[in-house]
Amino acid sequence: MVAATVGLLAAGCGNDGADVDLSKLSVGTYSTAARNIPNQPSPDHGTVLEGIRMSDAVADTSQFGSALTYLWQAGPVPDTASIEPTIGETRKRVLDGLGWVAGYRASYADAPQLPDGGAPPSYLGLSIMLLRFPDDAAATEAASALELANWTDFGKTVAAPLPKHPEIAARYTPGTGALLLDTPMGPFVLRLMLEAPPDGIEKRIGELDAVIDKEQALLRDFKPTPVAEIPSLPPDPDGLLARMVATDPAEPPPPSPTFAVYGSTGALRDQLPAIRKDKLYEKWGVDRFAVSGNQHLYRLRDNQAAKDMSAEFIAQSSGTEHEIAGGPNVPGSRCFQADAPAADAPGYTCRLVFDNIYTVVRANTAASVTEMTAAQYALLATR
């Protein structure tokens, strides 16, 4: 049961006006006290946290009308070694030599990846990587060096200026299916790679203009953290992770893509293809997206938007799960069991709306997921 210190009546805050006696909720062993998320200065953690912040400066395809609605990969760049398999050893040396600071990347396509994570036989793909350097001069030098290092035989490549941004040129080798672009934007290098069937890739050069337009707009609004302050970045700036029931109360994990708080643009990476196509996160006003292990939590424009998001997610999952009886007995919650859960995924899910918060809690048993949801309600009700 909830400890007596929080055994107060909590208004439903948009959950149909219901009052809930928190002392009578069945929460099992789950804590109903806000967690302490330590903020010990760490250069490694700070690099990841600045990369997570930079997710708000990397465009999602839903923001520029692209048909590439399938997200293949997204996340902060923890160090240059982590992207060496993608960019190669030579380009890694460029980054290291010019004082690379932090980064974020996302990749999209017009088709899903194969079950083993591989690429389908034919697809159109776009990778967006934003790399930060100490200053504008280092970024400009890095962009020039990367452009040369991209190709084993630079002399065989063709420069292709963008129609709307002729000062920026992509490059490709005729007969191949990759179009690459590295351009400085202040202390950042924007790195784009468009992949398509080799026949006629040069006809797709204009598709990069929309990406450039959106990146320029996002970077105008983004304020990079001063380099000296990066090690001290807070892992939970809005206190959302502290109030997520899935956060380990004793040993919170280090910052990572699965323990993070994203802003409004970073949150767009979470969209399913159909939701991305319809730009629903923007419609609902999702301005924070927090991840703690298997739990997702969203802060939206208002209570109605949170209800709409819950209803849409339930509809999207209707063919793969069924509702179960005996939920946590708190307003705004519904619980489900997966029809055929993946071997590495929890089989039970509860969806909870509280005020302008929507959260998804997952567990391996019906009892655990309902207790977690009751505890999550208490955590939100006593904020």
Sorted by sequence, the CB contacts under 8 Å of residue 15 that are 6+ apart come out as 303, 330, 331, 332, 353, 354, 355
Between the CA of residue 65 and those of 181, 209, 277, what are the distances in Å? 20, 12, 8
Is CATH 2.160.20 the right assignment for the domain spanning 43-227?
A: no
Q: Of 90, 84, 123, 94, whose CA–CA distance to 107 is shortest?
A: 123
- pLDDT confidence of residue 16: 46
SS3 per-residue string spanning the chain: CCCHHHCCEEECCCCCCCEEEHHHCCCCCCCCCCCCCCCCCCHHHHHHHHHHHHHHHCCCHHHCCCCCCEEEEEEECCCHHHHHHHHCHHHHHHHHHCCCCEEEEEEEECCCCCCCCCCCCCCCEEEEEEEECCCHHHHHHHHHHHHHHCCCCHHHCEEEECCCCCCCEEEECCCCCEEEEEEEECCEEEEEEEECCCCCHHHHCCHHHHHHHHHHHHHHHCCCCCHHHHHHCCCCCCCCHHHCCCCCCCCCCCCECCEEEECHHHHHHHCCHHHHHCCHHHHHCCCEEEEECCEEEEECCCHHHHHHHHHHHHHHCCCCEEECCCCCCCCCEEEEEECCCCCCCCCEEEEEEECCEEEEEEECCHHHHHHHHHHHHHHHHCC
**Residue 365 tokens, joined:** 């048993």
**Residue 116 tokens, joined:** 């083993």
Q: Contact, 76 vs 130, CB < 8 A?
A: no
Sorted by sequence, the CB contacts under 8 Å of residue 343 that are 6+ apart come out as none
Q: Where are the domains of the chain?
A: 4-39+235-381, 43-227
pLDDT of the chain along its 383 residues, tens only? 444 333 333 333 445 445 788 989 999 999 999 998 988 899 999 999 999 999 999 999 999 999 999 999 999 999 999 999 989 999 999 999 999 999 999 999 999 999 999 999 999 999 999 999 999 999 999 999 999 988 889 999 999 999 999 999 999 999 889 999 999 999 999 999 999 988 878 889 999 999 999 999 999 999 999 999 999 999 999 999 999 998 777 788 999 999 999 999 999 999 999 999 999 999 999 999 999 999 999 999 999 999 999 999 999 999 999 999 877 889 999 999 999 988 888 999 999 999 999 999 999 999 999 999 999 999 999 86
- pLDDT confidence of residue 10: 38
Q: Contact, 168 vs 183, CB < 8 A?
A: yes
Sorted by sequence, the CB contacts under 8 Å of residue 183 that are 6+ apart come out as 143, 168, 189, 190, 212
pTM of the model: 0.92
- pLDDT confidence of residue 383: 67
CA dihedral 345, 273, 313, 64 (to 10 degrees): 130
Cα–Cα distance, 349 to 361 (Å, whole number)? 6
